[in-house]
């Protein structure tokens, strides 16, 4: 069992939960946990949530976006309070992970809530004080949909110990004064925004299935090594957005 020790609203529909897990010895950046809820009648529902935190400790953070008609996410976003307990398994996963000793250029690409496991990588990179190029391309509907807004702004400030470059793509509403109108991510914008193929960057892409598959195809078509592309898919089917 994990104890809920803090909660924080990221957006009107998403919340970060900090969990204290007895005997937890840390986790890898990009892993996830399984959360199981049990109803009074014995019915159980299990969902996987990416870990957003990075530093080794007996605590971890998950960020949950409420899904319409969801069985688990509405409770985690609206019903959980500090002091509650959650049944979890993990952290688990060994494929979609970034290791602090990896000095190669790294490109992260997030669609919506797909930024959660990438935030774990960003935090691990910041803690490592690595000077390797680290870039995030973050596609969101509007400014109010951005997770970790203030922390990302701080980590991307000039002079940070571990440089981070961020490109936002607003698909529906852009901030006032934004230099480009809102619109969906396309192949040309992708090519202009990511680390170039000659640098042989490692890619981590997370989002809805259609988004991940479309972006991966565009990268390969533009000359990137498919063996350097790792993906994590969420349940949605939306394309690049």
* C-alpha–C-alpha distance, residues 41 and 204, integer Å: 40
**Which pLDDT value is given to residue 130?**
87
Q: Reply yes or no on whether the pLDDT at 56 is more than 90.
A: no
Q: Reply yes or no on whether the pLDDT at 239 is more than 70.
A: no
**CA distance between the termini of the chain:** 36
- Radius of gyration, alpha carbons of the chain: 18
- Fold designation for 2-92: Elongation Factor Tu (Ef-tu); domain 3 (2.40.30)
**Which pLDDT value is given to residue 221?**
97
What's the whole-model pTM score? 0.94
Q: Reply yes or no on whether the pLDDT at 237 is more than 60.
A: no
**Which pLDDT value is given to residue 163?**
86
pLDDT higher for 57 or 75?
A: 75
* C-alpha–C-alpha distance, residues 115 and 122, integer Å: 10
**Which pLDDT value is given to residue 240?**
53
| Cβ neighbours of residue 31 closer than 8 Å, sequence gap 6 or more | 50, 51, 90, 91, 92, 93, 94, 97, 117, 120
For the chain, give every domain's residue range: 2-92, 106-234
Angle CA(216)–CA(221)–CA(223) in degrees, nearest 5?
100
Query: Domain 106-234 belongs to what architecture?
Result: 3-Layer(aba) Sandwich (3.40)
150 to 146, 147, 177: CA distances (angstroms):
10, 9, 19
Query: What does the pLDDT look like over 25-37, one tens digit per residue?
Result: 889 999 999 999 9
**Which pLDDT value is given to residue 235?**
60
With tokens 């598959």, the residue in question is: 213
Beta strands (DSSP E) in the chain are 2-11, 14-20, 32-38, 44-50, 59-65, 85-92, 106-111, 134-140, 165-170, 202-208, 229-234
Q: In the predicted model, what is the mean pLDDT of residues 225-240?
A: 79
Q: How confident is the model at residue 178 (pLDDT cuts 50, 70, 90)?
A: very high
């Amino acid at each position: 069992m994990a104890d809920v020790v803090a909660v924080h609203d990221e957006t009107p529909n998403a919340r970060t939960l900090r969990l204290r897990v007895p005997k937890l010895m840390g986790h890898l950046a990009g892993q996830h946990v399984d959360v199981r809820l049990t109803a009074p009648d014995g019915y159980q529902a299990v969902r996987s949530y990416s870990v957003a935190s990075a530093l080794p400790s007996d605590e971890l953070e998950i960020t949950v976006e409420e899904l319409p008609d969801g069985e688990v996410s509405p409770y985690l976003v609206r019903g959980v309070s500090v002091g509650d307990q959650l049944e979890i398994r993990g952290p688990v996963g060994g494929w979609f992970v970034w290791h602090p000793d990896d000095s190669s250029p790294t490109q992260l690409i997030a669609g919506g809530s797909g930024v959660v496991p990438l935030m774990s990588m960003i935090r691990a990179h910041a803690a490592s004080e690595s000077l390797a190029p680290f870039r995030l391309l973050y596609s969101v509907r509007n400014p109010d949909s951005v997770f970790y807004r203030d922390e990302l702004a701080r980590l991307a400030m000039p002079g940070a110990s571990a440089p981070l470059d961020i490109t936002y793509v607003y698909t529906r509403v852009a901030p006032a004064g934004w230099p480009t109108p809102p619109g969906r991510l396309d192949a040309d914008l992708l090519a202009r925004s990511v680390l170039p193929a000659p640098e042989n960057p490692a890619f981590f892409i997370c989002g809805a299935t259609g988004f991940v598959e479309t972006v991966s195809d565009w990268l390969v078509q533009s000359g990137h090594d498919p063996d350097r592309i790792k993906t994590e898919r969420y349940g949605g089917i939306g394309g690049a957005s």
